[in-house]
Structure 1
């Protein structure tokens, strides 16, 4: 895409929207956004396609996301640290190397442990943006 071409807006403010012929995204070089501006401490980068949204996020030790939901389902793959979540009222401890599934419209929250940041890769369907709705 040339510098003079306008990139169509992503569903998520600050995210990158993939364009035809664009296949590789260096996450470390993309615009950093909040994972949930009014409910979460997660910060990272996000790329949106036609049907999928991916994001690489970091949540500082001892911080987290307040209860929220979104109309799209979500997968969270924990790369570093331990993510302590509550999904639909059920506590879940998600260590590095594990994946957490969050169904659509289910209220959930999560926190990084007190001793270490959590780094996670998340995937959502593109029926809604990355950001959820605070419960």
Structure 2
């Protein structure tokens, strides 16, 4: 059994300058917990693997390629590999989400 507590997971250095914590790193999947303060955003980037974002707190804007959507707690977004995307906190409270990368 693997049990990981977000508060105990070590923060990772990242090019976005935001709170990123790696929760799981396995052969076929990686899971990260990301927190964005109001006004913070991930820089537009692409990943070499398919990924999903699952919002667990707050609200924001997700852009994938030329598409843009407002998301909130409970939203799941698919991020196809090699397609540029970004996530920004558009609310007045903290936003938290999981990024699940399928390797």
TM-score (norm 2): 0.89
Cα distance 1:112–1:41, how it changes in 2: closer, same or farther (>3 A)?
A: farther
Separation in structure 1 between the aligned mates of residue 33 and residue 91 of structure 2, nearest angstrom = 20
How many positions carry a matched residue from both structures?
Answer: 102
Structure with greater Cα Rg: 1
Give 2:50's aligned residue: 73
Distance 2:10 2:81 in 1: 26
CA spacing shift, 1:104–1:25, aligned 2, 3 Å = same
Question: Structure 1 residues 42, 100: closer, same or farther in 2, change over 3 A?
Answer: farther
Q: Which has the higher contact order (CA 8 A, sep 6+)?
A: 2
CA RMSD of aligned residues (A): 1.5
Q: Aligned ranges for residues 40-51 of structure 1 at < 5 Å? A: 40-46=16-22, 47-51=24-28
Q: 1:85 & 1:91 partners in 2: Cα distance?
A: 6
Query: What SS does the corresponding residue of 1:65 show, helix, strand or coil?
Result: coil
In the alignment, structure 1 residue 56 sits paired with structure 2 residue 33:
yes
Distance, in Å, in 1 between the alignment partners of 2:18 and 2:37 is: 7
Q: Structure 2 regions of 5+ residues with no counterpart?
A: none
Unpaired runs of at least 5, structure 1: 1-21, 127-135
Equivalent in the alignment of 2:92: 115
CA distance in 1 between partners of 2:42 and 2:20 (Å): 14
Extract structure 1 runs of 4+ deviating beyond 3 A: none
Please say if 1:29 is aligned against 2:5.
Answer: no
| Secondary structure of residue in 2 paired with 1:28 | helix
Q: TM-score, normalised by structure 1?
A: 0.69
